[in-house]
Amino acid sequence: MPIRVRFSWLACVCLWLLSSCSGYERLLKSSDVNKKLAKANEFYDKKQYLKASQLYESLMPVVKHTKNYEALYFRYAYSAYYMEDYMSASYHFRNFTEIFPNSTDLAEAEYMHGYSLYKFSPGYSLDPTYTSKAIGALQTFISNHPNSKYVKDANKYMDELRGKLERKDADAAKLYLNIGQYKAAGVAYASVMENYPESDKVDEYQYYIAKSLYLYARESVKSKQEERYINAMNAYNTLKEEYPNSPYVKEGVKYYQLAEDNLKKLRNEHK
């Protein structure tokens, strides 16, 4: 392409962009409410969510007490969601439920409040604050709207979020075990079992309780060992009785046998 033609083409593109931006800026500052609302909805329908959001925001003070406010605010919240600004989306969906408690979109807004928090929830190893908030929001939604079409998805997302919390707690328990804090490990694994009774890893946690208690007993002073070896054996028996088909039954029997052998030695010493 000749340099002069290329320059002319680029100049046209730049002028078009400047004109487009200038036109949008004028629209933002316009006092023509109907025109702004129509264009905002047009941008929204075309998935140009940033432009739609800015126009909706500029219109809020004007339409706040009109019939258009509810639909505008609902789309405004969704604009934040589609732009992946999940923190803002969660706030605005919750705000929507408070401003419009009788809206026909109430259930969807409550669900989207929880779902936006779910999307904002970080990886399991990070601060679990928003993971817990997402669980709470989704649980509230299910309680308020048990027959909603979104309940199935809400339950699925809650399971994922609980899985994050469980994994974080289980990793903390494992760390105690790895650094030799055996008593703390046993307590931590017991807490994981209590908090996540429906987990598919409860047999694994029970195994680690037995292992932790055995190691704790082994490291204890002799005067405390007998009682603590018995606790370890009882923990293994619980594993065997409650989860007889678990692969950890076979793996954990060595700790039971070691505890039993050490217990016999202690009792022979006392004779």
- Inter-axis angle of helices 3-29 and 33-45, to 10 degrees? 130
- Supply the pLDDT for residue 41: 96
Structure tokens at 245: 């088909």
The 10s digit of each residue's pLDDT in 4-30 is 434 444 444 444 444 455 788 888 887
- Is the Cα torsion angle 240, 245, 248, 253 positive or negative in sign? positive
The 10s digit of each residue's pLDDT in 244-256 is 999 999 999 999 9
Cα–Cα distance list, 189 to 13, 52, 180, 202, 216 (Å): 64, 50, 14, 9, 14
Cα–Cα distance list, 6 to 1, 13, 18, 251 (Å): 6, 11, 18, 75
Percent of the chain having pLDDT more than 90?
Answer: 85
**8 A C-beta contact, residue 130 and residue 89:** no
- Mean pLDDT, range 76-81, rounded to an integer: 98
Percent of the chain having pLDDT more than 70?
Answer: 92
**What are the φ and ψ backbone dihedral angles of 235, each rounded to 5 degrees?**
-65, -40
Which has more pLDDT, 119 or 8? 119
- Mean pLDDT, range 46-55, rounded to an integer: 96
**What are the φ and ψ backbone dihedral angles of 159, each rounded to 5 degrees?**
-60, -40
C-alpha to C-alpha distance for 204 and 242, rounded to whole angstroms: 12
- Mean pLDDT, range 173-201, rounded to an integer: 97
Neighbours of 20 (CB within 10 A): 10
- Supply the pLDDT for residue 25: 85
Confidence of residue 145 (pLDDT cuts 50, 70, 90): very high
- Supply the pLDDT for residue 33: 87
202 Cβ neighbours under 8 A, 6+ residues apart: 193, 196, 243
User: What average pLDDT does the structure give for the chain?
Assistant: 92
Domain ranges in the chain? 180-271
Residue type, 187: V
**8 A C-beta contact, residue 151 and residue 145:** yes
HSE at residue 77, side-chain half, CA atoms within 13 A, is 26
C-alpha to C-alpha distance for 133 and 237, rounded to whole angstroms: 38
